């Protein structure tokens, strides 16, 4: 029991979870000593008055002298050593007055004054544990400052509410590491850090090594490790550098005591990283690193449901893969410790912590950020940009460029949990065809399986599944099925090959005693494949190959791969050890690492699950993509729920089990944009929502927005009404069909954007601020977005309206449908938006290739091209097209592609084939439209020959009947 007696209200700070009402472990026991027991000093015999006066006088002189020296040192210390922070610590040692409390009231008052000088926004939490009543005694036992916050963190909350201003925080002189030696290396510098005083977490490591690597002119890498013992490191491939950058865009300053790094952008002197703002922690199961931020504009840090721009007002984001419907302030399916930050003047930089352990990322309004991980090492990168798009390019250069998707991945996908039978699934496909609504891919959820077991199909209800798949193929359509990692462990021996063979090969995760760990998922009791083992990957391939011989599926949907578990840990529970109950547990849903997953102490080939948990989805995606490449000999299509950095190499992602609510429609945009930052551009949300009953208006608006998701799938849950386009009214059905046809007509644009993502690390769905980094008004926009640099999408996100307001950065924007121009000074504009329309505008200076749409992309991609040019004031525009066979592996790497550049200047469009391929010979350019032609032409020439044209009063010129071969250069001119 916690002792509450003798505690005044101002002496008690409730930690986050106490006030949030979440169930937590038993609170720490706190006792308050009686006054007569409080002193730890031995009683001394009384002395003479003279002796006492002399001693007291000497003490006062020493204290005053020390205070004066310390104050002078603080005042005269160069300000550029500690930018963006309160007064820096003067020492890494605990003063003697703190080691022996109540020795001197004067020293205590000096300490209180030093603590009070730290502004609330710069107070870094010294007692982040949840479920603890933080008292003054507990706080000061950690040698930290205890000051109740002066006001609630917001008008509606109490001062000690979750994510509020910490009442217990680090003082300036909290013990930390000091840099005791530094030597030059081939890549930069390497130093030794030492700490003389242990902190309050067990396994404190007193000697560390810091390795600073100037890897490129725009990329800095820093590794802080334990030189005496190897620790877990994330097993993903990153670039190996052998030569130091010659002219880095950054400078690195080192603070010796306390140790810290200050990274600046040389061109502006902006401080991008400053780790001296709070103590560095490096214990066995607790790593903590804090830094200032140059602004409040910070993005990334997936996977969380939030606005695109993160709130820095005492906001904690927890990372530990978890099966839970998208919910605010909750750790979701993936873990991505990367952020992008905007600076003053439009520059941007990024930061990536290569660490897979459970962690909290704390944002506070200084602005500052704290990383708090419970394992691994501190291995981080700083990317200099300087524009936000370049930051993402530099990030994916480290974690891996996203794969080029197979062409049909960009079509319309349809799925639901609850078709019930293969014939019912087939009927929906036929209805879509009858209404002539585009559809490329049909999916099935777990109801296709025999008793929910992987690599089976229900012989009764889904007996015609092979016939359905053959029919899809005959109509140039594809089939994708779901797979969960949990393998049924209760079937009679010899009746279920996946489990029997898995046991034989030893592919399953083991418990702490070395036995197969058993959890529970849809098929009942299950074992979990260990995808960190190459043997498991081969077993996975064998299972897929065997099933493909029965049902020739085209792609895989891997779900429940956090991994999810209906139990906490296993059927036998989990051991009572520090892996299951670490000294610090981040704010994960359920409060325990094993909550609705397997035991943290479970054993895998590469490490314990404690280290590998958030990598599970990545490793399964890698195994699945590898298997599909071998089975279908084409680009693999994999969509995964759980993700980790480098996932884009192997799979796309959908945003999980959302709801059929307008709020979910809106938040999906932030999710799409964030995952494009994270190097996973093939991303979408379940159109119309997964759970709850879909409303017709919502479904129409969602289909319109979903037509511009990079990955477009309609999916809903069991026991709710169907929500495919065929079930709605004629008006709604027509509106959905038009939106999908619009997407299909823009396929050449989307496909080319994915090429640039694959080769250059560009984003596909792009935040507006990426193209307008000097316009601060764009920094928080997440109700609109761009496709590439050219098309701005302004969807309706509210019910019952026939208009929408959107922000248009400075310049000329053209209505995509009409060519009508809008000149914006950087302002919000009100746009008509009837139920059958999504607003789409083309940016001045753009050329985009489009095609006549059809029911499948196989048919659409063979149609002639129509070029749309949006001219800037000087009459210029440019664009490009990447084209290949759409499905072969590594066409760019093997030079099996065509690449054409279009440009307009001085009334002449030129097409230049920079790289040719036979695929381009199959396509013709039949027409071209030019928006913003200010004077009606008297003549139009195509390759110097007269051509038919029309000109409208809104300054739109259209040239038809061109018949130009895409593989040959051409010109279109007017006079």
Residues with active-site annotation = 559, 562
Q: How far apart are CA 947 and CA 925, in angstroms?
A: 14
Task: Please give the sequence-ordered ranges of beta strands (E in DSSP) within 230-326, or none if there are none.
Answer: 250-255, 260-265, 271-274, 281-283, 286-292, 298-302, 315-319
The token pair that represents 798 in the structure block: 């509210």
DSSP, residue by residue, 812-854: EEEETTT--EEEESSEEEEEE--TT--EEEEETTEEEEEE---
* Residue recorded with tokens 């721009």: 309
Residues 223, 241 contacting (CB under 8 angstroms): no
The most distant pair of C-alpha atoms in the chain lies apart, rounded to whole Å, by: 117
| Angle made by CA atoms 208, 213, 219, in degrees to the nearest 5 | 130
Q: Which of 767, 763, 746 is nearest to 755 (CA)?
A: 763
Q: How far apart are CA 267 and CA 387, in angstroms?
A: 13
Burial class (CB in 10 A: 0-12, 13-18, 19+), 37: exposed
Residue 462: φ, ψ to 5° = -120, 35
Let me know how many helices (H) and strands (E) the chain has, helices first: 19, 52
Instruction: Give the torsion sign (CA, 71, 76, 82, 84).
Output: positive
Burial class (CB in 10 A: 0-12, 13-18, 19+), 149: middle
List CB contacts of 84: < 8 A, sequence separation 6 or more.
Answer: 271, 274, 277, 292, 293, 294, 366, 368
| R_g of the chain, CA atoms, integer Å | 31
* Residue recorded with tokens 């209800």: 461
Q: How far apart are CA 763 and CA 680, in angstroms?
A: 9
Q: How far apart are CA 666 and CA 671, in angstroms?
A: 9
Q: Cα dist. 816→665, 830, 870, 916 in Å?
A: 23, 16, 9, 29
Residues 391, 383 contacting (CB under 8 angstroms): yes
Strands 298-302 and 336-342: antiparallel
Q: How far apart are CA 868 and CA 777, in angstroms?
A: 29
List CB contacts of 626: < 8 A, sequence separation 6 or more.
Answer: 537, 541, 636
Q: Which of 245, 359, 375, 239 is nearest to 302 (CA)?
A: 359
Helix (H) or strand (E) holding 760: helix 747-760
* Residue recorded with tokens 């009683």: 43
The token pair that represents 665 in the structure block: 């429609």
Which segments of 683-726 does DSSP mark as H helices, in order?
696-706
Q: Cα dist. 923→863, 869, 971 in Å?
A: 7, 19, 17
Bond prior to 386 in cis (omega within 30° of 0):
yes
Residues 350, 380 contacting (CB under 8 angstroms): no
CB atoms within 10 A of CB 493: 8
Strands 487-488 and 518-521: unpaired
| Angle made by CA atoms 398, 649, 534, in degrees to the nearest 5 | 100
**Looking at residue 76, what DSSP letter applies?**
H
Q: Which of 777, 744, 779, 782 is nearest to 765 (CA)?
A: 782
β-sheet bridge partners, residue 828: 807
List CB contacts of 41: < 8 A, sequence separation 6 or more.
Answer: 100, 103
């Amino acid at each position: 029991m916690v002792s509450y007696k003798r505690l005044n209200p101002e002496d008690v700070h409730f930690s986050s979870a106490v006030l949030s009402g979440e169930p937590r472990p038993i609170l720490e026991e706190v006792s308050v000593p009686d006054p007569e027991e409080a002193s730890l000093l031995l009683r001394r015999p009384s002395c003479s008055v003279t002796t006492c006066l002399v001693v007291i006088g000497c003490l006062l002189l020493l204290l005053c002298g020390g205070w004066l020296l310390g104050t002078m040192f603080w005042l005269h210390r160069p300000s550029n050593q500690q930018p963006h922070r309160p007064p820096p610590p003067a020492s890494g040692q605990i003063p003697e007055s703190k080691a022996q409390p109540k020795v001197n009231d004067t020293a205590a008052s000096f300490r209180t004054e030093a603590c009070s000088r730290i502004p609330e926004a710069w107070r870094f939490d010294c007692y982040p544990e949840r479920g603890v009543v933080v008292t003054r005694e507990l706080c000061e036992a950690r040698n930290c400052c205890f000051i109740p916050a002066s006001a609630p963190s917001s008008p509606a909350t109490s001062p000690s509410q979750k994510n509020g201003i910490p009442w217990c925080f680090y003082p300036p002189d909290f013990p930390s590491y000091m840099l005791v030696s530094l030597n030059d290396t081939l890549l930069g510098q390497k130093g030794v850090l030492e700490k003389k005083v242990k902190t309050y977490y067990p396994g404190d490591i007193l000697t560390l090594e810091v390795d600073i690597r100037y890897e490129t002119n725009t990329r800095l890498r820093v590794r802080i490790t334990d030189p005496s013992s190897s620790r877990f490191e994330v097993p993903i491939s990153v670039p190996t550098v052998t030569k130091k950058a010659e002219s880095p865009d950054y400078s690195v300053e080192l603070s010796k005591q306390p140790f810290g790094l200050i990274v600046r952008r040389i061109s502006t002197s902006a401080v991008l990283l400053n780790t001296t703002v709070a103590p560095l922690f490096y214990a066995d199961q607790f790593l903590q690193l804090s830094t200032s931020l140059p602004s409040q504009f910070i993005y990334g840090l997936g996977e969380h449901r939030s606005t695109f721009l993160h709130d820095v007002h005492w906001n904690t984001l927890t990372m530990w893969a978890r099966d839970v419907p998208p919910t605010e302030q909750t750790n979701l399916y993936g873990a991505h410790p990367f952020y992008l930050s905007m600076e003053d003047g439009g520059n941007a930089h990024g930061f990536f912590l290569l660490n897979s352990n459970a962690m909290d990322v704390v944002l506070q309004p200084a602005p500052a950020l704290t990383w708090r991980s419970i394992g691994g090492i501190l291995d981080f990168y700083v990317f200099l940009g300087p524009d936000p798009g370049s930051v993402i390019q530099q990030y994916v250069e480290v974690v891996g460029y996203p794969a080029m998707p197979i062409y049909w991945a960009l079509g319309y996908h349809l799925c639901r949990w609850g078709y019930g039978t293969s014939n019912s699934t087939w009927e929906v496909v036929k209805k879509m065809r009858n209404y002539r609504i585009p559809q490329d891919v049909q999916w099935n959820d777990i109801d296709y399986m025999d008793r929910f077991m992987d690599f089976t199909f229900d012989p009764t209800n889904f007996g015609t599944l092979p016939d359905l798949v053959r029919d899809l193929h005959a109509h140039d359509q594809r089939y994708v099925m779901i797979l969960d990692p949990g393998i049924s462990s209760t079937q009679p021996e010899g009746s279920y090959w996946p489990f029997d063979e898995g046991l034989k090969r030893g592919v399953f995760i083991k418990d702490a005693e070395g036995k197969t760990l058993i959890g529970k998922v849809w098929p009942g009791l299950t074992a979990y494949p260990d995808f960190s083992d190459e043997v498991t990957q081969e077993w996975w391939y064998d299972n897929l190959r065997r099933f493909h011989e029965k049902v020739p599926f085209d792609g895989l949907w891997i779900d429940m791969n956090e991994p999810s578990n209906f139990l906490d840990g296993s059927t036998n529970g989990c051991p009572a050890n520090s892996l299951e109950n670490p000294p610090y547990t981040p704010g994960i849903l359920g409060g325990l690492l094993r909550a609705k997953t397997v035991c943290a102490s479970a054993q895998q080939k590469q490490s314990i699950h404690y280290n590998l948990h958030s990598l599970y989805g990545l490793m399964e995606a890698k195994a699945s993509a590898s298997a599909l490449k071998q089975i279908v000999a084409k680009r693999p299509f994999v969509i995964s729920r759980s993700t980790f950095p480098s996932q884009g190499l192997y799979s796309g992602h959908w945003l999980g089990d959302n709801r059929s609510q307008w709020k979910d429609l809106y938040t999906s945009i932030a999710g799409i944009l964030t995952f494009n930052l994270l190097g996973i551009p093939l991303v979408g949300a379940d159109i119309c929502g997964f759970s709850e009953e879909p409303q017709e208006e919502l479904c129409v608006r969602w289909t319109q927005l979903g037509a511009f998701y990079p990955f477009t799938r309609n999916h809903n849950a069991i026991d709710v009404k169907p929500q495919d386009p065929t079930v709605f009214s004629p008006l709604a059905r027509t509106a959905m069909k038009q939106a999908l046809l619009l997407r299909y007509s823009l396929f050449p644009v989307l496909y080319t954007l994915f090429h640039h993502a694959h080769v250059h690390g560009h984003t596909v769905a792009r935040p507006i601020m990426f193209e307008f980094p000097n316009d601060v008004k764009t920094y928080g926009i997440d109700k609109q977005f761009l496709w590439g640099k050219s098309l701005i999408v302004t969807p309706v996100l509210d019910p019952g309206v026939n208009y929408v307001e959107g922000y248009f950065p400075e310049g000329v924007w053209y209505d995509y449908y009409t060519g009508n121009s809008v000149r914006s000074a950087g302002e919000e504009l009100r746009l008509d938006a009837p139920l059958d329309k999504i607003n789409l505008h083309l940016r001045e200076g753009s050329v985009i290739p489009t095609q006549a749409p059809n029911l499948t992309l196989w048919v659409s991609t063979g149609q002639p091209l129509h070029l749309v040019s949006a001219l800037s004031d000087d009459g210029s525009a440019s664009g490009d097209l990447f084209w290949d066979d759409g499905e072969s592996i590594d066409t760019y790497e093997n030079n099996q592609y065509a690449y054409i550049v279009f440009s307009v200047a001085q009334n002449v469009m030129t097409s230049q084939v920079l790289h040719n391929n036979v695929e381009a010979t199959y396509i013709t350019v039949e027409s071209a439209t030019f928006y913003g032609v200010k004077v009606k032409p008297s003549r139009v020439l195509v390759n110097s020959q007269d051509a038919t044209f029309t000109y409208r009063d809104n300054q739109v010129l259209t040239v038809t009947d061109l018949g130009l071969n895409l593989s040959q250069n051409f010109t279109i001119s007017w006079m």
